[in-house]
Each structure stands twice: as structure tokens, then as C-alpha cells.
């Protein structure tokens, strides 16, 4: 009976006695991110390395999108954002939060739980208190704009002091001028609005959420660029980065060959012949400074690959 109760609890996300109802248990976090084999934080959230995050930032949305699609992940991108700092990109590890329209019987319980757990202030500050360096606060606030402003410049400063990144809200923010003054901070939101947050309640932190067309899990690596945002499952980041970097190298080689008239567009855009593959490998040998990964990693990635 105890085992059955635990399984029901695990799959429904219901908290066992003594466990938080706002954050998932370590067991439930592991359930959602079971393919990750690397380091985790104390709550079980995957911790993608800084080195991989840096390399991910160098890729385009299209390169990441293509790699994810090859792995069967077709619902990880979302566009249509207003950017606080247009043209400025960022990358980081996702901390999720879900908001819903207020319902007194539930919101009162959440406030009591927060007090019991020692959480300070209004619930929209609780995810911010948890942020670490290179985290990205990602919130599903159901597209609410008026009275849906999750942060202003005070919370924006708190976020940047902890994470040094930015935020992604399927909702809104206020104090646009004050937020713009935070050097290095960026926000992807549906709109900016002068109103205060009203009639909203926080229902979970670090549970899977929906951001437009994307399903997002805590610990995902998120790439935010002018073209939109894309969420990469933690266990796939290394593979996606390698595949994206390979595409970048292939394109650099192809562009150079086209400019020099060595090959035609039809030859470069089609599956490469053995002759072109050989020329590409010679080009790699002659341009080791162009490789963002080690040659050993690249050679391993290219083994058995159909070009």
C-alpha cells in the first residue's frame, strides 16, 4: 500500500507529508529529467555546464531547432516576443514558474505554505529568491498583460544580481525604462504594461510548464535570441551543440567553396560526394582555429554520419 501511494504521488505530483507542494520532490524532478546523467542541484534540477552554455550561445536558433527536430523534439521553440534589449541574446539554465488566475481557497493555502517554508514576500518573488548564477527565470503566466506584470525594476535588479541573465515570461513586465537601465539584463515578454500584478497566483516552481508552443522543464538550457527562444532538454545539450557546430563548419566550408567557384550550389546543397567530403576534411586540417570543439570530438561525431 505504501508503494502504491508513493507511485500515485509521484505521477500526480501530489506532495507527501513534509514535502513542498510548490516545488517537486527530488524523485519527481528525476522522473521528468530521467535521461540526464550529470550534476544536479539540491532540488534535483539538472545543471548543464557553463562550457556547453557558452557554446550554445554561439549557435543560431535555426541550428538548434534543426538538431532538436532530428531528435524528435518538434515543440521546443516559441517566437512572437517583445525584447527589452533588442538584438541582445542570452543563454542559461531554466527555473520554471507557473501562474494561474487567483482562486482564494487555493491562493490562501499557497501563502500559508510559503510562510511555513520560510518564503518571504509575495509569491511572485519566490522563484527569484531561488535563482543562481546563469539561471533563467521562465514563467507561464498564461499571456496576461494588464495586471499580469510579474516584475518591475526592483525585482529586475534582484534577478540580475543573482543570475546575470534575463527572464522569459508568457505574460508581461512593468517599469520598462528602469529595467532597461540594468546593464546586461534582458527580458522576453508578450508586452510591457504600467499596471501592477493582480488576481494571479503562483501554483508551482520547477514543474514542467507550457510557453506558447513549447514544453519546458526545469534544468533545460534556454537560448534566447532575436528570432525567439528555444528550450533544449538538459540531456541533449551536448549532442545539440556538437550537431549545431558541425553545421556551422559545414556551412563555412560550403560558403568558401561557392565564393571561390570550386563547387556549384547543387553540389553543396545535395548529399556530398566522397570528393567533397575529402576536401572538407582537408579544409578542417588547414583551419584548426575554426573548430569550436576538439578535433577528437568532431571526428567521433562524424563517424558513420550520412552527409
Domains of the chain as residue ranges with CATH: 50-232 (3.50.30.40), 238-302 (no CATH)
Q: Could you read off the pLDDT of 174-218 as tens digits, one per residue?
A: 999 999 999 999 999 999 999 999 999 999 999 999 999 999 999
| Burial (Cβ within 10 Å: 0-12, 13-18, ≥19) of residue 60 | middle
The chain-wide mean pLDDT, for the chain, equals 93
In this structure, the number of other CB atoms found within 10 A of the CB of residue 247 comes to 17
| pLDDT digit string, tens, across residues 254-296 | 999 999 999 999 999 999 999 999 999 999 999 999 999 999 9
- Asked if pLDDT for residue 3 goes beyond 50, the answer is no
**35: burial class by Cβ within 10 Å (0-12, 13-18, 19+)?**
exposed
pLDDT band at 8 (very low <50, low <70, confident <90, very high): very low
Q: How many Å apart are CA 152 and CA 195, to the nearest integer? A: 10
pLDDT confidence band for 306 (50 / 70 / 90) = confident
Does residue 293 sit in helix, strand or coil? Answer: coil
User: Percent of the chain, pLDDT > 90?
Assistant: 90
Report the DSSP pairing between strands 200-205 and 90-101. Answer: antiparallel
Amino acid at each position: 500500500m505504501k508503494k502504491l501511494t508513493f507511485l500515485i504521488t509521484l505521477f500526480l505530483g501530489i506532495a507527501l507529508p513534509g514535502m513542498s507542494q510548490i516545488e517537486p520532490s527530488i524523485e519527481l524532478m528525476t522522473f521528468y529529467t530521467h535521461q540526464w546523467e550529470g550534476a544536479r542541484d539540491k532540488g534535483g534540477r539538472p545543471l548543464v555546464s557553463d562550457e556547453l552554455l557558452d557554446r550554445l550561445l554561439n549557435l543560431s536558433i535555426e541550428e538548434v531547432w534543426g538538431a532538436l527536430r532530428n531528435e524528435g523534439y518538434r515543440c521546443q521553440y516559441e517566437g512572437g516576443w517583445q525584447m527589452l534589449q533588442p538584438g541582445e541574446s542570452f543563454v542559461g539554465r531554466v527555473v520554471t514558474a507557473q501562474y494561474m488566475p487567483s482562486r482564494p481557497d487555493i491562493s490562501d493555502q499557497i501563502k500559508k505554505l510559503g510562510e511555513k517554508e520560510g518564503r518571504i514576500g509575495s509569491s511572485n518573488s519566490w522563484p527569484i529568491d531561488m535563482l543562481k548564477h546563469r539561471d533563467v527565470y521562465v514563467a507561464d503566466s498564461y499571456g496576461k498583460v494588464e495586471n499580469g506584470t510579474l516584475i518591475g525594476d526592483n525585482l529586475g535588479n534582484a534577478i540580475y544580481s543573482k543570475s546575470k541573465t534575463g527572464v522569459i515570461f508568457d505574460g508581461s513586465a512593468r517599469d520598462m525604462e528602469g529595467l532597461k537601465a540594468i546593464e546586461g539584463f534582458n527580458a522576453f515578454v508578450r508586452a510591457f504594461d504600467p499596471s501592477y500584478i493582480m488576481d494571479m497566483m503562483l501554483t508551482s516552481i520547477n514543474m514542467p510548464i507550457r510557453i506558447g508552443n513549447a514544453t519546458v522543464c526545469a534544468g533545460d538550457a534556454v537560448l534566447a535570441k532575436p528570432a525567439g527562444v528555444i528550450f533544449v532538454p538538459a540531456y541533449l545539450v551536448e549532442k545539440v551543440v556538437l550537431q549545431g557546430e558541425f553545421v556551422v563548419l559545414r556551412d563555412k566550408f560550403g560558403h568558401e567553396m561557392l565564393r571561390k567557384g570550386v563547387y556549384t550550389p547543387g553540389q553543396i546543397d545535395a548529399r556530398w560526394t566522397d570528393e567533397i567530403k575529402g576536401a572538407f576534411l582537408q579544409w578542417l586540417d588547414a583551419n584548426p582555429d575554426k573548430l569550436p570543439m576538439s578535433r577528437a570530438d568532431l571526428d567521433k561525431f562524424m563517424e558513420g554520419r550520412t552527409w
